[in-house]
């Protein structure tokens, strides 16, 4: 997107850095504490990416500990499994997200449901029985993990019990919104029906593409503080680039977003 025509505000590198650090909640101010502080951190940042690799500890725990000095992994578990204030879905990557943002991820779920990729449509046609059976089991038995779909000892593969199709079915049902991750036990995902996980009163109205674009820009700049257009576009994956750019332009015109130049740097920042 080309440079804006309206007058730009100029910042020094030091000023821009300070805004970015404050927006990332890394300015050393102990404003967040306890479980509520963890929820506030996730809400402010927009998402916390889930790390699937653990060396000392998974990176999402480091991310929250750096912002909440008394952070405990149990806080994160309870926010998801007990309080239902956060949920898992794809933002920039798989992440913990504020439950208040749930509706803005519904269009992505809808795209998965309609088989927006050829391989997905083909797989669903071939394995429709697996999808139905996985849903039935969870409806009857409650939250289950992928391990619960491993074949019993001695049972020959080739039926719906075959673990690989069942595992993929879990993921597809998750991506298209039929299932949610109700909690993680030792990092193992437990899937349950969305209707049993989603808190009562959660807004499930579908946003327009204009709403999605504005949501994307607000969320990106809320967590980044100062960013180029490319960084705003890449922050989340909820709407296409054209609608992000259109919303960014509209929000400049309404003065919700300000175009910036940073001393010594050529790019336009916001």
Query: Could you tell me if 22 and 73 lie in one domain?
Result: yes
Q: Which domain-ending residue is among 169, 197, 225?
A: 197
Q: Do 223 and 91 sit in the same domain of this protein?
A: yes
193 & 70 share domain: no
Q: What's the confidence (pLDDT) of residue 255? A: 94
Q: Give the model confidence (pLDDT) of 147-192 as tens digits.
A: 998 765 554 555 444 457 888 999 999 999 999 999 999 889 999 9
User: For the segment 66-113, what is each residue's pLDDT rounded down to a tens digit?
Assistant: 999 999 999 999 999 999 999 999 998 999 999 999 999 999 999 988
Residues 170 and 189 in one domain: yes
- Domain check: are 36 and 168 in the same one? no
- Higher-pLDDT residue of 248 and 6 is 248
55 and 177 inside one domain? no
Give 116-147 pLDDT, tens digit per residue: 777 888 888 888 888 999 999 999 999 999 99
Q: Would you say residue 2 lies in a domain?
A: no
- Whether 1 shows a pLDDT value over 60: the answer reads no
Of 139, 167, 197, which one is at a domain's C-terminal end? 197
Q: With respect to residue 202, please indicate whether it lies within any of the assigned structural domains.
A: no
Residues 6+ apart with CB under 8 A from 191: 138, 143, 144, 145, 170, 173, 174, 179, 180, 181, 182
Residues 226 and 193 occupy one common structural domain: no
Residue 1 lies in a domain: no
Does residue 44 belong to any structural domain of this protein? yes
CATH number assigned to the domain comprising residue 134: 1.10.10
Number of H-type helices and E-type strands within the chain = 12, 8
Facing residues of 184 across strands?
189
Residues 140 and 258 both lie in one domain: no
Task: Look at residue 166 in the predicted model and tell me its pLDDT.
Answer: 87
Q: What is the pLDDT of residues 213-255, one digit of tens each?
A: 999 999 999 999 999 999 999 999 899 999 999 999 999 999 9
SS3 238: coil
Residue in 141, 142, 206, 133 with CA at minimum distance from that of residue 167: 133
Domain membership of residue 49 as a residue range: 9-101+208-269
Same domain? 13 vs 62: yes
In a domain, 203, yes or no: no
Are 78 and 42 in a shared domain? Answer: yes
Query: 255: alpha, beta or left, given left = phi > 0 and alpha = psi -120 to 50?
Result: left
pLDDT tens digits, 29-67: 877 889 999 999 999 999 999 987 655 568 899 999 999
Q: Distance between CA 216 and CA 238 in Å, rounded? A: 7
Please report how the helices 163-175 and 118-126 are oriented relative to each other, as an axis angle in degrees rounded to 10.
Answer: 130
Residue after which a domain boundary falls, among 164, 197, 230: 197
Judge if 85 and 133 occupy the same domain: no
pLDDT of res. 56: 59
Residue 5: pLDDT above 80? no
In the chain, the number of structural domains is 2
Would 111 be classed as within a structural domain? yes
């Amino acid at each position: 997107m080309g440079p804006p025509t309206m007058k730009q505000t100029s910042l020094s590198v030091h000023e821009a850095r300070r805004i970015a650090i404050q927006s990332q909640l890394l300015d050393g101010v102990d404003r967040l504490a306890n479980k509520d502080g963890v929820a506030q951190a996730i809400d402010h940042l927009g998402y916390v990416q889930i790390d699937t690799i653990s060396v000392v500890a998974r990176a999402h725990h480091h991310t929250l500990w750096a912002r909440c000095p008394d952070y405990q992994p149990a806080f994160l578990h309870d926010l998801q499994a007990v309080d239902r204030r956060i949920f898992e879905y794809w933002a920039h990557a798989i992440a913990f997200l504020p439950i208040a943002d749930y509706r803005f991820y519904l269009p992505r779920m809808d795209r998965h449901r309609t088989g927006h990729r050829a391989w997905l449509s083909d797989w669903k046609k071939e394995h429709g029985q697996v999808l139905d059976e996985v849903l039935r089991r969870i409806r009857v038995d409650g939250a289950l993990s992928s391990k619960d779909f491993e074949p019993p000892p001695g049972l020959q593969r080739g039926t719906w019990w075959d673990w690989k199709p069942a595992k993929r079915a879990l993921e597809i049902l998750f991506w298209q919104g039929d299932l949610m991750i109700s909690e993680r036990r030792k990092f193992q995902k437990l899937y349950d029906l969305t209707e049993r996980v989603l808190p009562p009163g959660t807004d499930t109205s579908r946003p327009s593409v204009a709403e999605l674009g504005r949501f994307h820009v607000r969320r990106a700049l809320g967590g980044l503080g100062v960013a180029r257009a490319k960084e705003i576009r890449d922050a989340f994956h909820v709407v296409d680039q054209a609608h992000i750019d259109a919303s960014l332009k509209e929000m400049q015109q309404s003065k919700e977003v300000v175009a910036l130049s940073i001393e010594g740097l050529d790019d336009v920042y916001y």
